[in-house]
Amino acid sequence: MASSVIPKSVNPDLQKERDGASFNSEEFAAWWAGSEKELKFTRGVRDYLHKDVNLDEMLQIQNMSHEDINEFSIRTSIDAAKKLRRLQEERNPGGDEYWPNLYDNKVMWGLTPAGNPFGVMYVMLVKALQAQCTPEQYEEFGKRMEKFEICGTYAQTELGHGTYLRGLETRADFDPKTDEFVLNTPKISSYKFWPGGLGHSSNHCLIMAQLYINNESKGPHMFFIQVRDEETHEPLPGVHIGDIGKKMGFIGVNNGFLGLKNVRIPRTRMLMRHAKVNADGSYVSSPANVLTYFAMVRTRCVIAQNNALVLAGAATIATRYSAVRRQSPINPKEREPQILDHVTQQFKLFPEIATSLAHRLASDYLWKLYDATIDDIANGKYDRLPELHSLSCALKVTCSSDSAAGVERLRLACGGHGYLTSSNMSNLYVAATAACTYEGENTVLLLQIGRFLMKSWRSALSGAPLAPTVRYLSEVQKNPEFGTWTGTWENMVKAMEYTAAYKTRLAFKSLSNRLSRGESEGNAANQTGIEFTQAAELHGRAFIFSSFTTEVTGPNSKNRSAAFNRVLENLLELYLVKETLNQLSNLLRFINLTDTDLTRLQDRLETVLTKLRPDAVAIVDGFDFSDLQLNSTLGSFDGNAYERIFDAVLKNPMNQKLVPKSFHQYLKPFMKSNI
């Protein structure tokens, strides 16, 4: 729908920024996408998917009722699936690189602004089936799911249990007489709760339940069950299923609840690639317990990368808006400047741009480690698993919590209009913060990392070799003195590693003291919990410092133009300086920085903000989001923010009539009665 109040031209303040940049944002875009070829491919698919999408409708969804939003989401998700399928047929019939492989790819961004109810199905369920089914099982029902002949979700969390898998209450009792499992959620707290798409858009479900044979627990295992009739979609007997209601975000993915009462499934519906139950009731355990949880490791890699993109999206919106909004003269009698010229505004925007790069590069490394570990597993090698687990936790935590805080800072940087849902900033925030809780609550993960650090510290003390990402701990044990602060990037990386190691040592000491006072391991660990989480957080940050510095200063820089390298160097400088300042309370405890050093850091901060100022808009252009992906009245490529806000306002359903019903019903009678 074309609308008359939105100009067809680009806002001159924004055009001026693009014209004045010191580098080519297309070079940035190709680097960010992975290669020029990848960029071209992504843009091609995106253009195809975006055709015929109604932007006006997208901007109004927050005004709809919960039920209408959910209906809207099923429609738009199916529409997008059809487009990908058509693209596959057009370009390479019989293949799968478009459909279904791109359905959980970032190219889908923006097509389902209230969330994709079939997201969990492709991000987790199909992957879990591939990893946990026997070949026969995958042939029987895994493939049907992959082809979307049936639809489903992955259900682990219960109303009363999230974190602690061994506490799950859903049970699957083996009945050897009928060769079946009997599934039950015995209490309200045992109901499955939260899975995306469970409420109204799944007819099957993979659930985690306690396996019982002869009433003896064998721990949590996965079972594939049908919950609704394929023809009528009505719940099957014994199945109590529905939607859990409105949440902060993911407002269109019908997160659901599921109660089971004596639901019977064939024995062969337990996923048996690793652990097995035979017809005679004999049980064969998995060669590596950790394999059961491996689906979550991959999901954490997805989260780390995805949250870097959410932050980049928010930074794009806030930066473009800051270039077109003018407010408060810096010098009296001068024209009000672009708010991008206020240093405090730069201090809100640019660090988040730098952070999204830092997180993205760290998560690239994580994916490489993931792929290598997958190869190992295929060869029966499991020794990299603890490191992968720990690093995926660390980056999941840092990327989710920093991006949530960053998106919120960026939203606040948009002033009042950032509070409008049409800015999309609140939607990005609730997406970012949700990741702090799902797939391993952040504090729980930090405690796990903390325990891993304690183990690593103890191993290092005994002289055992450590995995690459914790090797710095043994180096600090060997050379306990940090040495001199020089403030070079390498020195700053080293400082963060030393600080993480010193915090680990402190936590280790507290833990040891408690144990030597006779406290139980559990109590001692609980009492040392705060120090565990602090050490774990620094461990994650030290890794990000290192991977960002390596990418910018390492051999890859040879493939980039000098102008682009200067921009990346500025972003690295900003990231290292602002994070060092953020972590000063830890650093200053262990590392000697003089007052001059500290003043110098503040100078460097202010200097690099000034350096980045002329390139800010070109950098976020390089993130290469389309208007539909940003779905924001403030952040469009043309920068016509006020007109777009106003246009969206006029299309708001409440403005289609002049006088609301409530005036005659409530307001007027009350006012009259006061005369």
Q: How many CB atoms lie within 10 A of CB 468?
A: 11
Q: How far apart are CA 583 and CA 590, in angstroms?
A: 12
Which CB atom, from 113 or from 162, has the smaller least distance to a copy of itself?
162
Listed ranges 63-71, 125-133, 171-179, 362-370: which one lies at the site for a copy of itself (CB under 8 A): 63-71
Q: How far apart are CA 216 and CA 165, in angstroms?
A: 17
User: Which of 250, 141, 262, 253 is closest to 205 using CA atoms?
Assistant: 141
DSSP 280: T
The interface with a copy of itself within residues 321-360 (CB under 8 A) comprises 325-332, 334, 336, 341-345, 347-348
Categorise residue 593: left if φ over 0, alpha if ψ from -120 to 50, beta otherwise: beta
Which CB atom, from 270 or from 449, has the smaller least distance to a copy of itself?
449
Which listed residue (283, 584, 628, 637) binds a copy of itself by CB under 8 A?
A: 584
Peptide bond into 100 cis (omega under 30): yes
The interface with a copy of itself within residues 115-134 (CB under 8 A) comprises none
What residues are paired with 161 via a beta bridge? 158
Rounded to a whole number of angstroms, the minimum distance from the CB of residue 463 to a copy of itself is 27
Listed ranges 350-358, 492-500, 556-564, 666-674: which one lies at the site for a copy of itself (CB under 8 A): 666-674
625 and 613 in contact (C-beta within 8 Å)? no
The interface with a copy of itself within residues 186-225 (CB under 8 A) comprises 188-189, 191, 193-194, 199-201
- Residue 72: phi and psi, rounded to 5, are -55, -45
Rounded to a whole number of angstroms, the minimum distance from the CB of residue 343 to a copy of itself is 4
64 lines the binding site for a copy of itself (CB under 8 A): yes
The interface with a copy of itself within residues 460-519 (CB under 8 A) comprises none
Q: How far apart are CA 633 and CA 639, in angstroms?
A: 9
Length of the chain (residues): 675
Catalytic one of 158, 439, 551, 643: 439
Q: Judge whether 115 is annotated as a binding position.
A: no
13 lines the binding site for a copy of itself (CB under 8 A): no
Give the x/- contact pattern for a copy of itself in 634-653, rule: CB under 8 A.
--------xx-xx-xxx-xx
283 and 275 in contact (C-beta within 8 Å)? yes
Which CB atom, from 236 or from 291, has the smaller least distance to a copy of itself?
236
- Both tokens assigned to 578: 């602002």
Q: Name the amino acid, one letter, at 518.
A: G
Which listed residue (30, 33, 81, 84) binds a copy of itself by CB under 8 A?
A: 81
159 lines the binding site for a copy of itself (CB under 8 A): yes
375 lines the binding site for a copy of itself (CB under 8 A): no
Kindly tell me the burial class for residue 283, based on how many C-beta atoms sit within 10 Å of its own C-beta (0-12, 13-18, 19 or more). middle
Which CB atom, from 99 or from 109, has the smaller least distance to a copy of itself?
99
The interface with a copy of itself within residues 91-120 (CB under 8 A) comprises none
158 an active-site residue?
Answer: no
Q: Judge whether 157 is annotated as a binding position.
A: yes
Place of tokens 């698919």: 45
- Both tokens assigned to 154: 């992955």
581 lines the binding site for a copy of itself (CB under 8 A): yes
Radius of gyration of the chain (CA): 27
66 lines the binding site for a copy of itself (CB under 8 A): yes
What residues are paired with 220 via a beta bridge? 210
Which listed residue (53, 291, 444, 515) binds a copy of itself by CB under 8 A?
A: 444
Place of tokens 């060997």: 478
The interface with a copy of itself within residues 260-319 (CB under 8 A) comprises none
Catalytic site positions: 439
Binding-site residues from annotation for FAD: 157, 196
